Structure 1
Amino acid sequence: MAMRASVRYGLTIGTVTVLVVFLALVGMVAAPGLVGGDDAFIVTSDSMSPTLEAGDVVVTRAVPADQIESGDIVTVHDGSDDDTGYVTHRVVDVREVEGERALELQGDANEEPDEGLVPDEYVTGTLHLHVPYLGHVLLFARSGPGLFTLVIAPGLLLLASGSLQLLREFRGVSSSERSGAADDRRGET
């Protein structure tokens, strides 16, 4: 009986630990300020391999444009109207074009620099940190099966486990109250 209780306790602690770590990582992406960043992005290609791989999450930090130098890894908006137009590449050159700074970028896995120069105002930040593979988990979590597997099912398991524990405690108290009441009645006769 004690062995089953310790296994059950270990499983509960393990489940809660995994859930807390997962929620902390998701929180880091939802609120990158918690880890000293300003934005978080999911890497969608291997153009920065081996430094960054598709499925990694990058957290960027905004820095003054004049502090960006060759060798820095930056995330830039590509000028499109949607929220998906971001690229994370390495700065290979900083140039002066018509009195304005512009960056030449290149993915580590690419043989040639990116086409065109990027104006400073398109830079959202420099690489602060990255978490390998977390993007795969987040993309999976956005799907129906992922939402069920990673959020709903563990939540239901924790709820069921807590409910069973409360039910056991309630039954234990009820039976001890009943036996105590029976003892009291015996003493009255």
Structure 2
Amino acid sequence: MTISTAASTSTLPTPRAAESSRRALRADARRRDEGQSLLHYLAVSVSASILVLLLGVAVAVVGLPVVVGGSAMTVLTQSMEPGLPPGTLVVIRPTPVDEIRVGDVITYQISSGEAAVVSHRVVSKTYADGELTFVTKGDNNDTADPAPVRPVQVRGTLWYSLPLLGWVNSLLNGANRTIVLAVVAGGLFLYAAVSVGGAVRDRRKKTDAAAAAAEHAEARGGSRRGSR
């Protein structure tokens, strides 16, 4: 009587199959890293854009006027439409009265020594009792202002204007201005700290992943050599 037996055998993966598997794993890991990197880039870009916008507003409303000794004011009426509608931020800077020309927009006190001011365009220059005066008119008005403007009333000439930011300027008065500037500065420092920390973490993760992959590959190579 003849008895035949079949011995069960286990087949180790060939080197080519093992290499293909490693390539597939690396490709999958690379795709995950690229997806995470894209999301991180988008988040950083959005947050950076917001902070840059806030910083730009702070510079336009507070920084530049302070540098030139000027003032930021908000247009409240329609007299200078369409160029300067209500809500426009107008920044004025001191200008010698003899340098003010016809066509310039000046900001002047309605009554000398009082806080109320108006910004209108100079349409002509005259002399009253030997003193230079300015005839002004709102671009949207039909007639010139009733009284000529004396040099002592002039606060300055228009330097630049920004639409809608006048409402922001109205909110940034007194204590609010200090609070907002502190928030913007704190946000910039926080953003810098988070960005640096995120970059360090990403670099550390990549280093750890590369080291783990190298150890895994070395271990698989050693096991194959030991099984031969």
TM value normalised by structure 2:
0.59
Please state whether the residue corresponding to 1:130 is helix, strand or coil. strand
Structure 1 gaps, min length 5: 180-189
Cα distance per residue 1:48-93 (max 9 Å; x no partner): 00121111112223222122222211111233544xx221100122
Please state whether the residue corresponding to 2:53 is helix, strand or coil. helix
Identity percentage of aligned residues:
29
Higher CA-based Rg = 2
Alignment of 1:37-186 (within 5 A): 38-78=70-110, 79=112, 81-82=114-115, 85-140=116-171, 158=191, 165=198
Q: How many corresponding residue pairs?
A: 177
Structure 2 gaps, min length 5: 1-31, 213-228
Contact 1:28 1:34 in 2 (8 A): no
One-letter code of the match for 1:93?
S
Please state whether the residue corresponding to 2:118 is helix, strand or coil. strand
Contact 2:113 2:153 in 1 (8 A): no
Partner residue of 1:183? none
Q: RMSD of the alignment, in Å?
A: 4.0
Cα distance per residue 1:139-158 (max 9 Å; x no partner): 35667xxx6xx969x77x95
Quick one: which of 20, 33, 39 aligns to 1:7?
39
In the alignment, the residues of structure 1 paired with residue 160 and residue 192 of structure 2 have an alpha-carbon distance, to the nearest angstrom, of 35
More strand by share: 1
In the alignment, the residues of structure 2 paired with residue 167 and residue 139 of structure 1 have an alpha-carbon distance, to the nearest angstrom, of 41
One-letter code of the match for 2:167?
H
One-letter code of the match for 1:54?
P
Partner residue of 2:21? none
Please state whether the residue corresponding to 2:55 is helix, strand or coil. helix
In the alignment, the residues of structure 1 paired with residue 128 and residue 100 of structure 2 have an alpha-carbon distance, to the nearest angstrom, of 16
Please state whether the residue corresponding to 1:92 is helix, strand or coil. strand
Contact 1:37 1:128 in 2 (8 A): no
Q: CA deviation at 1:168?
A: 5.8
Q: Does 1:25 align with 2:57?
A: yes
In the alignment, the residues of structure 1 paired with residue 167 and residue 86 of structure 2 have an alpha-carbon distance, to the nearest angstrom, of 8
In the alignment, the residues of structure 1 paired with residue 67 and residue 165 of structure 2 have an alpha-carbon distance, to the nearest angstrom, of 15
Cα–Cα, structure 1 residues 63 and 87, in superposed 2: closer, same or farther, change >3 Å? Answer: same
Please state whether the residue corresponding to 1:90 is helix, strand or coil. strand
One-letter code of the match for 1:15?
S
In the alignment, the residues of structure 2 paired with residue 159 and residue 67 of structure 1 have an alpha-carbon distance, to the nearest angstrom, of 45
Contact 2:65 2:93 in 1 (8 A): no
One-letter code of the match for 1:86?
V
